[in-house]
Amino acid sequence: MFETLLPPEPDKILRLMAMFAGDPRPDKVDLGVGVYRSPEGRTPVMRAVKEAERRIWEAQETKSYVALTGDAAFLDAMRELILGDAVPAARVAAAGTPGGTAAVRQVLEMARRLTPEATVWMSDPTWPNHPAIADHLKQTRRTYRYYDTATGGLDREGMLADLAHAKKGDLILLHACCHNPTGADLAQADWAEIAAICARTGAIPFVDMAYLGFGDSLEEDAEGTRLLAARLPEVLIAASCSKNFGLYRERVGVVLVVTGEGGPTLAAQGTLANLNRQNYAFPPDHGARVVQTILGDATLRDDWRTELRAMRETMLGNRAALAEALRAETGSDRFGFLAAHRGMFSLIGATPAEVTTLRDTHGVYLVGDGRMNVAGLTAETIPKVARALAEVLARADAPA
């Protein structure tokens, strides 16, 4: 059966990781892989996570199965963290998943099961796994304008004009905050406009929340999602704890389905359980229990929020410092948008050829579309990166 098998295209991020690992230059800089790094260049285990794991290790007496949708206390804690009091708990179905990727997959599986003819609208650009999963499921997808490359900000008029063509039952895939890969986020007024479009067309917002707390604050980053949930009868949410709890390898994710009044929550809950059963049965418990332990304890929760704030401020500081270094190198404010972006990522405006030059000549590693992880910067590497970007991108601007 394998004689006709062709290997799939290698994952670009994994290939970049391998190239970086094999690069012998001591001053190489990894701005490609999407993990948070401290000012010392480490991806730390958060203090609250260590303490929660200690408590779990001392108290846990069994590794038996929990439930098809995961631990109820974890699901309640995530619902409260994400939605607050925007909707009654009775209107929200929930299920744990192996990370945010599986949460996205389960939402799209549910949509395909319930409305197979629906179109999934995705921002241009978006995280590569979004179209990859939709294509694997053979779902119709369309893009809507989102990023204005000239300004480094949101193409608001283009976005709203495109989304006005969505139909009843279509999904509009939105990034809750820290838009991956651009870093250009929606303002609260934009969320209100999208809610109005959904109310008018019958389209359903699908929010991917991978970076809650990495933008401005936990509350501010959740405002758009809460606005949708408060104003619309149905909202789909896929959330990850990889970034904001630093639980990358533990694979902690959750699906939240906000349903209308009158009883569909039980049917949605049963559907989520069935989808879990068909794909991986029981979701992982350890990481989810760590999250629930932290969110359920006032001391741990406060310590987590303090460390999360420090992580966020590190990224904001990196953004401001890089924008200023580029201003000094180029004599212009061409890269000023970097300071206005939020989260780990920004598109630097480099072509694939320029990304190759940055890597081969300067040892600065970016993803091929020019996506840069600002969390990979340090005070020591910012001047080097600024010089490299100014040289390579200024060369592209020079007249022939």
pLDDT in tens, 363-393: 999 987 888 999 999 989 999 999 999 999 8
Tell me the pLDDT tens digit for each residue of 253-297: 999 999 987 668 888 899 999 999 999 999 999 999 999 999 999
Q: How many whole angstroms separate alpha carbon 106 and alpha carbon 267?
A: 15
Helix segments in 150-250, DSSP class H:
156-163, 188-201, 218-231
pLDDT at 395: 59
pLDDT in tens, 133-171: 999 999 999 999 999 988 899 999 999 999 999 999 999
Angle between helix 298-330 and helix 382-397 axes, rounded to 10 deg? 50
Q: Is 99 left (phi over 0), alpha (psi -120 to 50) or beta?
A: left
Encoding tokens for residue 390? 């100014």
Find the angle CA(176)-CA(182)-CA(186) to the nearest 5 degrees.
40
Q: What is the pLDDT of residue 399?
A: 38
Residues labelled catalytic: 127, 208, 210, 243
Q: How far is CA 267 from CA 74, 94, 104, in A?
A: 20, 11, 19
Q: What contacts 24+ positions apart, CB below 8 Å, involve 47-51?
A: 47/303, 47/304, 47/307, 48/294, 48/300, 48/301, 48/303, 48/304, 48/307, 49/245, 49/246, 49/247, 49/290, 49/294, 49/304, 51/300, 51/303
Q: Over 60: is that where the pLDDT of 397 sits?
A: no
Residue type, 32: G
Q: Where are the domains of the chain?
A: 12-45+312-393, 65-296
Residue 43 structure tokens: 């991806």
Question: Rg of the chain's alpha carbons, rounded to an integer?
Answer: 21
pLDDT higher than threshold 90 for residue 298: yes
- Please give the CATH number for the structural domain made up of 12-45+312-393: 3.90.1150.10
Predicted local confidence at residue 334, as pLDDT: 87
CATH of domain 65-296: 3.40.640.10
pLDDT tens sequence across 163-220: 999 999 999 999 999 999 999 999 999 999 999 999 999 999 999 999 999 999 999 9
Between CA 136 and CA 392 the distance in angstroms is: 37
pTM: 0.92
Taking alpha carbons only, the member of 181, 142, 123 closest to residue 350 is 181
DSSP lists the bridge partners of residue 346 as: 372
The torsion angles phi and psi of 284, rounded to 5 degrees, stand at -60, 145
